[in-house]
Structure 1
Amino acid sequence: MKIRRIKITTIFAVAVVLLVLLLAFFPSIFTTYDPLQMDMMNSLKGPSSLHWLGTDEYGRDLWSRIVYGARPSIAVGFGAATLAALIGIPMGLAAGYFGKIADNVIMRIMDACSAFPSFLLAILIITIMDPSTLSLILTISIVNIPAFARIVRSNVLSLKKREFVEAARAFGAKKRYVMFRTILPNCISSITVEYSLVAATAILMEAGMSFLGLGIQPPTPSWGSMLSYANQYLNHSITYIMVPTCTIFIVVLCVNLLGDALRDWLDPMKMK
Structure 2
Amino acid sequence: MIQLVFQFIFLIFVLVSKGTFLQTLLLLPVVISKGSSLITEHRNFDIEFKNRKIPFEVSSSLQERYGTFTMIILGESMATLVENLNGHYVLNSVMEFILLSINVIGIFWLYYALIDTVHVKGHNYIKLALFRGTHVSFLLVLSLETFFLVNLFEVDKLWLRSGFMASLFATISLIFILKRFSKTTLQQNRNFFIGAGGFLVLFLFVSFRPLVLLTISDLYMIYLVIRRERASYLQGIALAK
Taking structure 2 as the reference length, the TM-score comes to 0.26
The structure with the greater share of residues assigned to helix is 2
Q: Which has the higher contact order (CA 8 A, sep 6+)?
A: 1
Taking structure 1 as the reference length, the TM-score comes to 0.24
